[in-house]
Amino acid sequence: MGWLRSFGGGLVATCGLDAFGSPSRDAAEDFPLHGRVGLTPAEQVGHDARWTGPDTFEIVVTGKVRQARMFGENLLLCRTVRTTLGSSRVTVTDVVSNEGSHDQPHMLLYHINLGWPLLDADAELDLPSRRFVPRDETAAAGADSWNRFDAPRAGFAEQVFTHELDSGAETVEAKLTNRKLGLSLAVRFRPAELPALFQWKMLGAGTYVLGLEPANCSVIEGRATARERDQLPVLVPGEARSYTLEFEVREV
């Protein structure tokens, strides 16, 4: 559970690259909460800014994170963050490749964290969920208000919901709207790349956050459980997969 001592919030915390969710023991190895990649320093970080058209000034930031060990995984994450001057839209594109010589489990989750002032008692969540499953009895007790929010309160117990998305849709959009504030934030992604979406509702005093968590695996209970359910994604040697998230702030 050491990830909790390092979690600094922020808009996106990346979880993986070989495990996310609950700590577990799989194939005689221990995997921590939400994996190791979030604490691995980036390399070859760079940026560029240039005119790409008469009215378009593009800003691009790139970097690489390698998760590797002797006799184990060799996974490389290449990230590109892109926006244009004056835009309210940011795109994050990741390519994860297996540079090792054996098949490698690959679990990836984007821990998107939305807080105050966008999140408050006047906010409402909209997402195209075909159905959702509460993680436990605590979440089940809040199922009727999964998309609505109260003011922070002491003693709130976190609620987690697993949402089933339309796998045939080209893209899906999850949006948190605060009409009193006059703003919304939308997150778009492709179900073909990220077929699962977990919702973390934590309305505690001092820890007040809505987590929207697109992932490439629908098991939040850890890698061992994903393997048991035959849902563990695997990259063969030399294989690469691409993931794209788009964030947009709008006036409402």
51 within 8 A of 249, measured Cβ to Cβ: no
Residue 97: DSSP 8-state: E
* pLDDT recorded at residue 63: 98
Q: pLDDT of the chain along its 252 residues, tens only?
A: 888 898 888 999 999 999 999 999 999 999 999 999 998 999 999 999 999 999 999 999 999 999 999 999 999 999 999 999 999 999 999 999 999 999 999 999 999 999 999 999 989 999 999 999 999 999 999 999 999 999 999 999 999 999 999 889 999 999 999 999 999 999 999 999 999 999 999 999 999 999 999 999 999 999 999 999 999 999 999 999 999 999 999 999
218 within 8 A of 195, measured Cβ to Cβ: yes
- Name the 3-class secondary structure at 228: helix
Evaluated on CA atoms 33, 35, 230, 173, the torsion sign reads: positive
Please give the backbone phi and psi of residue 37, each rounded to the nearest 5 degrees, phi first. -65, -30
For tokens 């979406």, the residue is 197
Conformational region of residue 16, where left means phi above 0, alpha means psi within -120 to 50, and beta covers everything else = left
* pLDDT recorded at residue 7: 87
* pLDDT recorded at residue 122: 86
Two tokens, residue 13: 């915390």
The full 3-state SS of 136-161, as one line of letters, equals CHHHHHCHHHCCECCCCECCCCCEEE
57 within 8 A of 50, measured Cβ to Cβ: yes
Instruction: Tell me the pTM.
Output: 0.96
- Between CA 144 and CA 122 the distance in angstroms is 17
**Nearest alpha carbon to residue 36 among 23, 47, 49:** 23
Please name the helix (run of DSSP H) or strand (run of DSSP E) that holds residue 5, with its range, or none: helix 3-6
Taking the CA atoms of residue 113, residue 117, residue 119 and residue 124 in that order, the dihedral angle to the nearest 10 degrees is: -130
* pLDDT recorded at residue 9: 83
- Greatest alpha-carbon span in the chain: 57
* pLDDT recorded at residue 100: 97
Two tokens, residue 111: 């821990």
Residue 220: DSSP 8-state: -
* pLDDT recorded at residue 196: 96
